[in-house]
Amino acid sequence: MYWEKQLETIPREELSLLQAERLQKTIINAQKTSFYRRLFARNNIDPEKIKSPEDLKVIPPTTKADLREGFPFDFLAVPLEEVIRLHSSSGTTGTPTVIYYTASDLDRWTNQVARSLYAVGMRKNDVFQNMMSYGLFTGGLGMHYGAERLGALTIPIGAGNSKRQIWFLKFFKSTAIHIIPSYALLLAQLIKAEGLDPHQDFNIRIMLLGAEPHSEETRLRIEEIYGAKAYNSYGLSEVNGPGVAFECVFQEGMHLWEDYYILEILNPQTLSPTPLGEVGEIVLTTIYRDATPLIRYRTGDLAFLLEEPCPCGRTHQRISRIQGRTDDMFIFRGVNIFPMQIEKVLMSNPEVGNNYRIILEREDYRDKMMVEVEIKPELFSGDLQKLARLKERIQSELHSEILVTPEVVLVEPGSIPTSEGKIQRVIDRRPL
Ligand code: ADP
Ligand code: ZN
């Protein structure tokens, strides 16, 4: 049931002690970086006084912009010859950032991933096909080493090349795959186009969905298409990569491994803690790595804490699925909207296909929102009234969710551009 029972089910009081001890080491270590030396001096912070997570409040959070400005070495806490690898964020939102790893950092991260995979039931007899890009992106190598440590047969196939993916799935009877959710939907279509059924003709039992926000409705859809369990896997390169937080078999919220991080959920405007159960920004302090310590790192990812202890017995707090990013929220006629709200509505309609996009434009000083939605091919067989009714229904459902009514355009499957990597859902053509 557990990869390392003692640590995964550690009583909360013991966990607090462990966190305090690791935090103190982290603060000492952070003083070796020029960024934190400067930050502490500028804010009159006495590192000796940072003894437990509560004391962190006095330290200003670190942002992605800080990491970028600190390029290349301002965050490095060890001599460069101790570093054996670097990773870099995929740069979805700007110039990349670099994170360094010592041998022991990599060993701990590998353990963290193995622990996560074990929690969703992966074992040494699994055949694991890792469909994430290898290279600077952490989703490839990060998950790879965790799966190997578990003893699974690990196929480093990487992202894309769907024909080859399908061939490997079939030939090696892969039982577990790591895949971006939007690509899982696209791949299913390609599998069907080859006359195969993603459920009947394959052996996939575990899917790890990560790297981009997706709704519960999308998960259910993916599970149904593949006849497999799909688990939410959260991570970001700045604080290691995959394995930061992971669902267990109960599939309700992701355990954030608190022996590796101190977790805060803060209001992105005021930076004060959000009330329990309310959405806020995930802010993480790394307490179990040496080369690149990060203190109160603002992830930009929005989630809320789940209150109840998990029936699986793990004591590490659970966070909700990611509700969006502080920077993918868009403002439309004064209303804050997250693409995820729109996705939730679309994916709960069985007529809706697997792809959509949101286009924002401005005409005569007025903002317009168009939601292009692929619908199932059989609906295009001619009954125009039926289509009109469907469009109206989706529009009104969207209105109840986001309080404005976008123009919904129903399109044929395959007409919206797809991507083998992270997908861009919002096209904002409004002039600034
Ligand atoms: P970036 O995309 O910021 O360049 P990464 O490649 O490290 O950097 O991606 C990390 C980001 O991907 C996270 O901050 C988060 O926004 C998103 N992400 C990762 N896993 C998930 C997940 N399971 N659900 C939602 N979003 C995720
Ligand atoms: Zn659990």
CATH topology of domain 330-428: GMP Synthetase; Chain A, domain 3 (3.30.300)
Quote the pLDDT of residue 329: 81
Q: How far is the CA of 10 from the centre of ligand 2 (A)?
A: 13
Q: How far is the CA of 320 from the centre of ligand 1 (A)?
A: 14
The percent of residues in the chain predicted with pLDDT above 70, rounded, is 99
Per-residue model confidence as pLDDT tens digits over 149-171: 999 999 999 998 999 999 999 99
Protein residue with least CA distance to atom 12, ligand 1: 211
Quote the pLDDT of residue 423: 82
Ligand nearest to the Cα of 247, by number: 2
Q: Which CATH number fits domain 1-325: 3.40.50.12280, 3.30.300.130, 3.40.50.12780, 3.40.50.970?
A: 3.40.50.12780
SS3 216: helix
Residues lying with their CB under 5 A of ligand 2, a single-atom ion? 248, 310, 312, 314
268 near 330, Cβ under 8 Å? Answer: no
Beta bridge partners of 303: 280
Q: Hey, do 1-325 and 330-428 end up sharing a CATH topology, with the first three levels equal?
A: no
Q: Can you spell out the DSSP letters for 285-313?
A: EE-S-SSS--SSEEEEEEE-EE-SPPTT-
Q: Where are the domains of the chain?
A: 1-325, 330-428
Q: How far is the CA of 212 from the centre of ligand 1 (A)?
A: 5
Q: Where are the beta strands (DSSP E) in 32-91?
A: 83-88
Q: How far is the CA of 200 from the centre of ligand 1 (A)?
A: 31
Q: How far is the CA of 155 from the centre of ligand 2 (A)?
A: 27
Quote the pLDDT of residue 59: 98
CA distance 405 to 316: 40
Q: How far is the CA of 118 from the centre of ligand 1 (A)?
A: 22
Token pair belonging to 275: 């009330």
Ranges of residues in the chain whose predicted pLDDT is under 50 = none
In the chain, count H helices and then E strands: 11, 21
List the Cα angle 157/160/164 in 5-degree steps.
60
Q: Where are the beta strands (DSSP E) in 89-191?
A: 98-102, 127-130, 153-155, 176-179
Protein residue with least CA distance to atom 19, ligand 1: 211
Per-residue model confidence as pLDDT tens digits over 204-221: 999 999 998 899 999 999
Quote the pLDDT of residue 335: 79
Quote the pLDDT of residue 94: 57
Among 92, 120, 239, say which to mutate for ligand 1: greatest number of ligand atoms within 8 Å of CB.
92
Q: How many CB atoms lie within 10 A of CB 429?
A: 9
Q: How far is the CA of 160 from the centre of ligand 2 (A)?
A: 32
CA distance 23 to 12: 16
286 near 50, Cβ under 8 Å? Answer: no
DSSP letter at 337? Answer: E
Protein residue with least CA distance to atom 25, ligand 1: 213
CA distance 206 to 227: 9
Chain centre distance of CA 43: 32
CA distance 47 to 37: 10
Residues with beta carbon inside 6 Å of ligand 1?
89-93, 137-138, 210-213, 232-237, 299, 301, 322, 325
SS3 339: helix
Dihedral-angle region of residue 163 (phi above 0 means left; psi in -120 to 50 means alpha; beta otherwise): alpha
Q: Which of 430, 405, 411, 328 is nearest to 372 (CA)?
A: 411
Quote the pLDDT of residue 91: 53
> 127-130 and 330-332 as β-strands: parallel, antiparallel, unpaired?
unpaired
CA distance 302 to 320: 9
Among 212, 246, 338, 422, say which to mutate for ligand 1: greatest number of ligand atoms within 8 Å of CB.
212
65 φ/ψ angles, rounded to the nearest 5 degrees:
-65, -40
